[in-house]
Amino acid sequence: MSRAHNFSAGPAVLPVPVIEALRGSLLEFGGAQAGIMEISHRSTDFGEVIDAAKTRLRRIMEIPDDHSVLFLQGGASLQFYMSALNIARPTDAIDYICTGNWSKKAVQEAGRVCDAANVWSSADTAFDHVPAPDEAIEYRPDSIAVHYTSNNTVAGTQLAAAPNTDRPLIADLSSDICSRRIDVARHAVIYAGAQKNLGPSGVTAVILSPWAVERSRASDAARQGGIPSMLSYDLMVQKGSMFNTPNTFGIFALERVLAWVEEQGGLDYFAERSRRRAAQVYAKLDASDFWRPRARPGSRSDMNIAWRIHDQSLESTFVSEAREAGLLALKGHRSMGGIRASLYNALPDDAVAALVEFLTDFEKRHG
């Protein structure tokens, strides 16, 4: 079977060994005498799967022992609302660093349940940059937490480090989780949809500090009628992610991806590899005026590279010719157009080499 190079922003490419393991588990999983999608979430077999997934994520990300790990449903989009609902009482303030479409949606959703406001935004320059690591951001005196999106898939920007503040952090790591090290202990809430770097869609990894769980209890008590059961961090921690039936197949797939991450060398390996591969593409884009990278140098993402062609009428030709050459899903996000290549962990190195070669060839023929 021939597989094309898949640059999809999500759901994204999966490691071939993981796909093979998933395929084998569909008919019979371990000694269960049934497929992974057919066994009970209350069974010993699945209990071992979810425990292994939690253990691997803790080990890879160096998650403190007192932090909780959950595998929920609803994607990062639900966490925009759920994180604020649990952390803040109705009158509490959360500050937002708005660096793209997804952080814009996050503050809008949070505004339904608390005092949510942007304290930094690059919306006026089409989200082409993020705060510098040493940039002074003026937070509101009464804010209880700061939310940020670490990597922005649409415009192709990425924070070099978490915001420099002593306030608890809430982080959307959906598109760069497990691609580099992060100080988990500084964060009250970390959430990430699985469909970019962790597995197929349908699972959201959530990491909570003890403070976040306690805040969930306080918010529940402060809100008329309390927090709905399905949206309560405290209840989900008590139930071990299984208040209702979780996405059993998705969690198994996530566990297999995490095993692959460890086998490859862990976060230090992927961080160096991501920097090197992105640099190859940016070097090509910066080499002539034919290409127009969206993100400013210093803010550029190692995961998602977005650009235009100087003659924008050529962009549809680029995408169609790339597909014919076996390079899939290079069309930019519908809100911005252009071209985008997502270089997630599972994308093979030869896919990046093929993209650079195609860029060279396309410019030669159309420049």
The predicted-structure confidence for 207-224, as pLDDT tens digits, reads as follows 999 999 999 999 999 999
Say whether pLDDT at 172 is over 80. yes
180 contacts 271 by C-beta, under 8 angstroms: yes
Say what the pLDDT of residue 337 is: 81
Shared-domain flag, residues 152 and 299: no
Last residue of a domain, one of 233, 263, 293: 263
Shared-domain flag, residues 351 and 297: yes
Last residue of a domain, one of 263, 291, 325: 263
Joined tokens for residue 49: 């799967």
Residue-wise pLDDT tens digits, 75-104: 999 999 999 999 999 999 999 999 999 999
Degrees (nearest 5) of the Cα angle 231, 236, 238? Answer: 140
In a domain, 33, yes or no: yes
Say whether pLDDT at 346 is over 80. yes
Say what the pLDDT of residue 367 is: 79
Residue-wise pLDDT tens digits, 281-291: 999 999 999 99
Q: 302 an active-site residue?
A: no
Q: Which helix (H) or strand (E) holds 70?
A: strand 68-72
Say whether pLDDT at 347 is over 80. yes
In a domain, 171, yes or no: yes
Shared-domain flag, residues 199 and 119: yes
Structure pTM?
0.96
Residue-wise pLDDT tens digits, 302-317: 999 999 999 999 999 9
284 contacts 305 by C-beta, under 8 angstroms: no
| Catalytic annotation, pick one of 102, 120, 291, 307 | 102
In angstroms, how far apart are the furthest CA atoms of the chain? Answer: 65
Q: 172 an active-site residue?
A: yes
Say whether pLDDT at 185 is over 90. yes
Q: What is the Cα–Cα distance from 207 to 274, expressed in whole angstroms?
A: 24
Q: What is the Cα–Cα distance from 213 to 236, expressed in whole angstroms?
A: 10
Least confident span in 31-35, 145-149, 285-289: 31-35
| Catalytic annotation, pick one of 54, 196, 284, 331 | 196
Over range 266-274, report the average pLDDT: 98
In a domain, 9, yes or no: no
Q: Map tokens 């690059």 to a residue.
A: 122
Shared-domain flag, residues 307 and 247: no
Over range 6-15, report the average pLDDT: 96
Question: To 10 degrees, what angle do helices 101-110 and 75-87 make?
Answer: 40
Q: What is the Cα–Cα distance from 135 to 133, expressed in whole angstroms?
A: 6
Over range 69-75, report the average pLDDT: 98
Say whether pLDDT at 349 is over 90. yes
| Catalytic annotation, pick one of 115, 172, 220, 302 | 172
Residue 178 region by backbone torsions, left for phi larger than 0, else alpha for psi between -120 and 50, else beta? left
Helix (H, G, I), strand (E, B) or coil at 341: strand
Last residue of a domain, one of 220, 238, 263: 263
Q: What is the Cα–Cα distance from 307 to 326, expressed in whole angstroms?
A: 20
137 Cα distance to chain centroid: 24
Joined tokens for residue 157: 């920007």
On average, the pLDDT of the chain sits at 96
Shared-domain flag, residues 244 and 277: no
Over range 241-254, report the average pLDDT: 96
**Domain with 358 in it:** 265-366
Say whether pLDDT at 1 is over 70. no
In a domain, 57, yes or no: yes
Residue % of the chain over a pLDDT of 90: 92
